[in-house]
Amino acid sequence: MTQHSSITPQDKANILSQALPYIRKFHGKTMVIKYGGNAMTEPALQAAFAEDVVLLKLVGINPVVVHGGGPQIESALKRLGKTGQFIQGMRVTDDETMEVVEWVLAGEVQQDIVGLINQAGGKAVGLTGRDGAFIRAEKLKMADNKDPNVLYDVGQVGNIVSIDPSVVKALQDDAFIPVISPIGYGDQNESYNINADVVASKLASVLKAEKLMLLTNTPGVLDKEGKLLTNLSAREIDNLFADGTISGGMLPKISGALDAAKSGVNSVHIVDGRVPHAMLLEILTDTPYGTMIRSH
Is 294 marked as a binding-site residue?
Answer: no
Q: What is the mean pLDDT of the chain?
A: 88
Helix H, strand E, coil C: the string for 128-184 is CCCHHHCEEEEEEEEECCCCCCCEEEEEEEEEEEEECCHHHHHHHHCCCEEEECCEE
Residue 61 belongs to some domain of the structure: yes
pLDDT beyond 90 at 1: no
Is 249 marked as a binding-site residue?
Answer: no
Residue 289 belongs to some domain of the structure: no
Structure-derived torsion over alpha carbons of residues 276, 62, 22, 254, reported in degrees to the nearest 10: 60
When divided into structural domains, the chain yields a total of 1
Higher pLDDT, 116 or 273: 116
Domain range for 82: 28-218
Residue 190 belongs to some domain of the structure: yes
Cα separation, 67 vs 203, whole angstroms: 12
Residue 139 belongs to some domain of the structure: yes
Residue 256 belongs to some domain of the structure: no
Is 91 marked as a binding-site residue?
Answer: yes
Is 79 marked as a binding-site residue?
Answer: no
Banded pLDDT at 30 (limits 50, 70, 90): very high
Per cent of the chain over pLDDT 70 is 97
Q: What is the CATH number of the domain that holds 184?
A: 3.40.1160.10
Query: pLDDT by residue (tens digit) across 51-64?
Result: 999 999 999 999 99
Query: pLDDT by residue (tens digit) across 131-166?
Result: 999 999 999 988 887 888 889 999 999 999 999 999
Residue 224 belongs to some domain of the structure: no
Is 159:138 a contact under the CB 8 Å cutoff?
Answer: yes
Query: pLDDT by residue (tens digit) across 194-208?
Result: 999 999 999 999 999
Residue 265 belongs to some domain of the structure: no
pLDDT of residue 2: 44
pLDDT of residue 225: 83
Residue 1 belongs to some domain of the structure: no
